[in-house]
Amino acid sequence: MKKYNLHIFLLLITAMMLTACNPAQTRSSSNGNIRPTHVTNEVASANLNLAIAYLKRGDYNDALNKLEKAREADPEHPATYNVFGLLYQRIGDTKKAEKSFKRALSLDSNDSSSLNNYGSFLCQQDRLKEAKKTFLKAANNPLYRTPEIAITNIGLCLYSNKQKEEAKEYFQQALNINPQVPQALIKMCELTLDDFNYLSARAYIQRYQQVSRHTARSLWLGIQIERELGDKDTVSSYALLLKNTFPDSNETAILLESNN
């Protein structure tokens, strides 16, 4: 579950940085017309952006302080409560996290960032059915520019709950929308490797490395794939990169043990 939470958090906090910097956005009203979302003031926006930066660094006290200032400057800004939810989720206060996400959605029920983050929270609490419904609501918002994020999140949630076949369907769906989603590519690599489909697994890892930097996990996957396909030179390249870039990783320890 921790791996799922880390992936989803990094994905969504990046999206929050983009949306928080531009408070004047649009959404659909109940009759289908486009109308502006809540427009916050500069003080609230500045403090919210600082809170997000502190949250990304793990400076939770500073993040909380800036969030409180943002709320004082504008008590009705949904994004502030969204980030409150992320903060409380990170420090393990589930009651305050859920209350914050629900407050954000009560102010803007169609905000895809809040829906994504609340979906992540629900999945972390093993409320899979609710999480899936929440992610789908985000993905189905016609004004959401990156529905593949919400769809990938459904896949990550299902994968973390050992529902791999259904997860695969959502990863493929996300990649049909955007072929360059790193999280979907690496998970499809894992899934096809598990199915002994080594050529497909190789294709996914090659696509992954075109859009994202290697991690210890992706390099270890590459080593396993190329061992099965008999490409010793590529195995050696991946192994050298893994040992040099991630010397203290679990994957490097496994590699060294397997070579003994």
The structure tokens listed for 83 are 């980030």
The contacts of residue 241 (CB under 8 Å, 6+ apart) are 214, 219
Residue pair 99/109 in contact (Cβ under 8 Å)? The answer is no
pLDDT at 208 (0 to 100): 97
Which amino acid does the sequence have at 144? Y
How many other CB atoms are found less than 10 A from the CB of residue 101? Answer: 26
pLDDT at 96 (0 to 100): 97
How many other CB atoms are found less than 10 A from the CB of residue 204? Answer: 25
What spatial distance separates the first Cα and last Cα of the chain, rounded to whole Å?
31
- Give the Cα separation of 203 and 195 in Å (integer): 14
- Give the Cα separation of 62 and 74 in Å (integer): 18
How far CA 38 is from CA of 57, 85, 111, 115, 187, in Å, comes to 27, 19, 11, 16, 36
- Report helix, strand or coil for 36: strand
Binned average pLDDT, 10 residues per bin, the chain of 260 residues: 46 46 37 46 92 94 96 94 95 96 95 93 94 95 91 95 95 97 96 97 97 96 97 96 95 88
Judge if pTM exceeds 0.95: no
Q: Which residue is it, tokens 């989720």? A: 89
Domain limits, the chain: 1-145
Question: How many Cα atoms sit within 13 Å of 73 on the Cβ side?
Answer: 18
Alpha carbon of residue 157 to chain centroid: 10
- Give the Cα separation of 29 and 26 in Å (integer): 9
The structure tokens listed for 179 are 């072929």
What is the CATH superfamily name and number for domain 1-145?
Tetratricopeptide repeat domain (1.25.40.10)
- Give the Cα separation of 231 and 88 in Å (integer): 47
Residue of 175, 158, 176, 180 lying closest to 167 (CA atoms)? 158
